[in-house]
Amino acid sequence: MAAVIITRRQADEDRLPHLCMRCGKTATVRSEKTFSKRQEWTASILLGGLPSLLFGMLFRDRFTVTVPLCDSHKSHFKWRSIVFWGGLLILIPALLGCFASIGNVADKVVENSFIGVGAFALAWVVIVVFSKLIGIDVAKIESHQAILMGVSDNFAKACERRKADAKSDEFDWAECR
């Protein structure tokens, strides 16, 4: 997998190659995706913890791109969201149920419930991290550009060719790495 720099102008004018960003085959659909990344200063709030998490959720840089995808990958971003939010939707009530059962059922049942919820939480975190590592994601967002990681090599090469073929500075093609 490769990385590509996409400028705001390129994203606004939809000047990306007509190749699937995920696999490099001919794109059949274009899906609008808003990439977001927490602003780096939010990590320093009280050296982490809940305040850092809350500030990280509130203060984010955003970059919207119309992403070219093939039929096989048209749900690439949707599945990642379903895994994240669906897992969270299961985890929170399960954890609340464990706490609610304290004093109402045998201690061994409560203990086993917490172990089960903990195992689910661990599996969910591993799946979320793995999907983030193997999928298309933003590495950095600046005022005029974003660096996307996990794009296909063919897509990155097409960006490089477009950049090389551009005959004037009128076109602001992606810089590929």
pLDDT tens, N- to C-terminus, the chain (177 residues):
899 999 888 888 888 999 999 999 999 999 899 998 887 777 666 666 677 777 777 888 899 999 999 999 999 999 989 999 999 999 999 999 999 999 999 999 999 999 999 999 999 999 999 998 899 999 999 988 999 999 999 999 998 787 777 544 455 555 554
Q: What's the confidence (pLDDT) of residue 172?
A: 53
Q: How confident is the model at residue 167, as a pLDDT?
A: 45
| CB count in 10 Å sphere of residue 19 | 22
Which residue is associated with the tokens 């590929």?
176
Residue 51: its pLDDT value, please? 72
DSSP secondary-structure letter at 67? E
HSE-up (13 A, CA, CB side) for residue 13: 11
pLDDT in the model for residue 33: 92
Task: Kindly report each contact of residues 90-96 with a partner whose C-beta sits within 8 Å and lies 24 or more positions away, as own/partner.
Answer: 90/120, 91/117, 91/120, 91/121, 91/124, 94/120
Q: Distance (Å, rounded) from C-alpha 74 to C-alpha 131?
A: 16
Please give the Cα distance from 113 to 110 (Å, whole number).
5
Given this model, what pLDDT does residue 162 score? 77
